[in-house]
Amino acid sequence: MSPTPTPQHNPPPFAPPLVTPFGQPALTRQYATTYGPVRPTKGLGAAIIVVLWVELATILLNVAAAFDARRVFDEVISSTGIESSSFDRLEEADARVNATALLVLLIGLAAVILLAVWSNRVSHNAQNRGVVGLSPGLAGGGWFIPFANAVIPFIQLRRAAKPFIGATSVVTAWQVFLVSAAFISRSGVREVEEASTAFELSDALTDHISYLAFAAALFLGAAICATQSITDIDRRVSTCA
């Protein structure tokens, strides 16, 4: 009686075992032995990329509106007399700043919602292909936790993305640029609120606008890194779905 052959298990090519420096597969708990279906993420990823670049354009509009408001303010305080039309100009300039700031907020919220759904799906895909130590709930819901959203979703995303794209340094760069942009954009706000004279307010506005412009440059870096990360992950996922 011939022995029953033992079935061989071959893991999918995009979730390989870790390789040691000597070129041999290493035993690791990073991957489980069961695999499930992979859901496509390309549509969500494309939507996120579009929204991020629209948000960048809106941020630049907000910087331009703030610069124009500062110019109008300087013209008013330097004039010999303040007329009612001057107040109207100030109110209009301030309204443009507030409108563009609200638009940035709304577009940013849309981006966060899309990122939450996309991150959750990427994490599920990695989990279904054998990666352990993931929490799809945190990968998606982490984007909505104040302050923690600067860390938690990126930790989960790096873990989920590693089987698909290998090195995750671009994801880390995305995180650093985005968190820095959010922090810098708030710089100078206190000086504006605490200014006691018109000239102090003008100087504080100038400083705040400089911070906003720097934050926009940092957000540009975040958008570039996010575009590269999302595109690479979606491309790899699409070959496995």
Domain boundaries, the chain: 42-238
On the question of pLDDT at 43 being above 90, the answer is: yes
Task: Report the pLDDT averaged over residues 7-16.
Answer: 44
Residue 160 tokens, joined: 């989920």
Average pLDDT on 21-40 reads: 51
pLDDT in tens, 64-75: 999 999 888 888
* CB atoms inside a 10 Å sphere around CB 27: 7
Residues 6+ apart with CB under 8 A from 93: 65, 68, 69, 72, 73
pLDDT score of 164:
73
Band (81; pLDDT cuts 50, 70, 90): low
Query: Which residues lie below 8 Å from residue 228, measured CB to CB, with a gap of 6+?
Result: 170
Tokens coding 36: 């499930």
Average pLDDT, the chain: 82
CA distance 225 to 26: 31
Query: What pLDDT is recorded for position 155?
Result: 94
Average pLDDT rounded to a whole number, residues 20-40 = 51
**CA-wise closest residue to 157 among 138, 173, 176:** 138
Environment class of residue 178 by beta-carbon count within 10 Å: exposed (0-12), middle (13-18) or buried (19+)?
buried
d(CA 191, CA 204): 6
Per-residue pLDDT of 147-194, as tens digits, reads 999 999 999 999 888 877 777 899 999 999 999 999 998 887 777 777
Q: Which two tokens stand for residue 52?
A: 């991020």
Any idea how long the chain is? 241
64-73, 95-104, 182-191, 216-225, range with the lowest pLDDT: 182-191
Mean per-residue pLDDT, 21-49: 65
- In sequence order, which residues have a C-beta less than 8 Å from that of residue 201 and are 6 or more positions away? 73, 192, 195
Least confident span in 75-89, 132-146, 169-183? 75-89
**Cα–Cα distance for residue pair 31/15, rounded to 1 Å:** 8
Rounded to whole angstroms, the Cα distance separating 6 from 99 reads 68
Structure tokens at 15: 């979730």
Judged on CB neighbours under 10 Å (0-12, 13-18, 19+), 34 is exposed
